[in-house]
Structure 1
Amino acid sequence: MSAADRRHGGGLLHAAGLGRRDQNLGTDPGLPIRTASIMYRHVRMRIVGMNDRALVFDGIGQDFPSPGQRNKVRVLDGISFDVEHGKFVAVIGPSGCGKSTLLQMAAGLLIPTRGAVHHRGRKIGSINTEVGFVPQQAQLFPWKTLAENVELPLLLRGVAAGERRERVASALNSVGLNGFEQHFPSQLSGGMQKRGSIARTLVYRPDIILMDEPFGALDAQTRMVMQSDLQSLSMEAGATVIFVTHDITEAVLLADHVVVLSQRPSRLLANIPIDLPRPRNMFEPFRNPGFEAAYDAVWTEFRSQIDTGRVH
């Protein structure tokens, strides 16, 4: 790794896309996931015969210091739920209720004040290299080409050069960016940078994908296209996904379960199964049989938390 990489935090966190949230995602249409299922094949083989829980949040509580005050702010209070292998779980709740905090805990970036998070039966106590994190910000290094950015997680893991080239090519092809390998981030649109960030997550074949409102800043049409392609990835690859969103429609269309959190200090209000048949129509939600009933079930739990200026 170069000195420039080290100075700018060029470790595993940036390679996996772990870091700050941002609203500048661009509005390019399309996230054509075509070959990602191959990248997950070994992961699926690895978990055969194991417990069906990919991730367990057990009695999670989190307190944060409050500037200028002696008392701490309690954000999470006794959150418990499981995520099964191969399932897509959406998390919704009011602004500031700790949705992103849960993802940080699953990634090992934050250790809970109380309780524990377990990944495949192992308590998470440090950086969890088996998960991929897709934040709102693309976080591509500006001095590296797209291929070099996507390659970085493999370089950090000591993967041989030949295998790195093959996996980078496969990851870029899976998100429709083949042909742009030698472009620098400044030569890519915001949407293409976002897809590059997703390719960088896919390239090291994570056991779980964590997504923090990845489509929040996109226009409506582009969002639907990307939702549809994400559904294809989830279905074809059998990927385990935890997806934070503020959009009930998005949560119902994408998820197998929707976890609803309360206002701070956040409690688990409901873990609602979504039994709509797949593939689901992302472009015309009400054409999906059972969509209205599923939406109403989530909305019934969520509406009690509405507080003007706080719902997000």
Structure 2
Amino acid sequence: QRAAFYRFSGSTEPSVGTAEVLSGKALSYNNLVDLDAALALAKEFDEPFACVIKHTNPCGAAAAETLEAALAEAWTGDPISAFGSVLALTRPVNLACAEFLVSGNRFVEAIIAPAIDDDAFELLTKKPKWGKSVRLLACGDFSPAVRRAGEVELGKLVGGFLLQERDLPCEGADRFRVVTKTEPSAAQMAELTFANKIAKHVKSNAIVLVAGQTVRGVGAGQMSRVDSVRLAVSKAGERATGSVLASDAFFPFPDGVEAAIQAGVSAIVEPGGSIRDDQVIAACDAARIPMVFSDARHFRH
């Protein structure tokens, strides 16, 4: 298939369209789509953060005190799927990040970050297997504040196209509403806030398991929410125990929550709004785990 990329004139928000391509093969259609998805997720965060994107979905993501720590943690989300992925980072790529990436059997298709440090660039472009293959993009500094509400999302259909506003807000602890008898701890609230930001960028039906500030398992794009739970749990394995769960939309039945509880999930955030909310809440109360409602859905198709 032939394809072309058209840039909007006058756009100033750091983006794939405004980024400088520093090295690597020509960007493919899919590279550009994945890079856009990766950068959109990274723009949710002010702190050092890294996300690992595969087919527009995060298979790993983490925030930490340093960028290299965030990258290493993000890679643990799903190391197998991370091979051939696209990365977005909220700080300039440094030598420690580059050394992590070229060690072992790791490889990524493209990286977008505010900048690439000279020594990191040297290593990433001279290392065998990486060399001229990996696409390196510098987009300049960014944070959640750079996102422009005036931008719109466009989707092409046969016979027309769709336009919609950008889905920019993401609810956190200050907006969460506790609906169970058990209240989440401050640490769980922080984890739920992080998980909710990640789930916003996962294809629906979206389920995300998080421990600390690290993604442990993702269930993306399944046709039933309980299957997304099972997929996220299978990705997390033993790490599901004690994790928190975020869902991009309500649980229509208690089966998804019950599967999560059985796997050891310790707290849940979801939008609420199901006619069976009372049954879902009752399942959490029976297990004595907290559930909060965000009162906002983030469907991604």
TM superposition score category, shorter chain reference = under 0.3
TM-score (norm 1): 0.27
TM-score (norm 2): 0.27
Query: Per chain length, whose mean CA-contact separation is higher, i.e. which structure has more relative contact order (CA < 8 Å, sep 6+)?
Result: 1
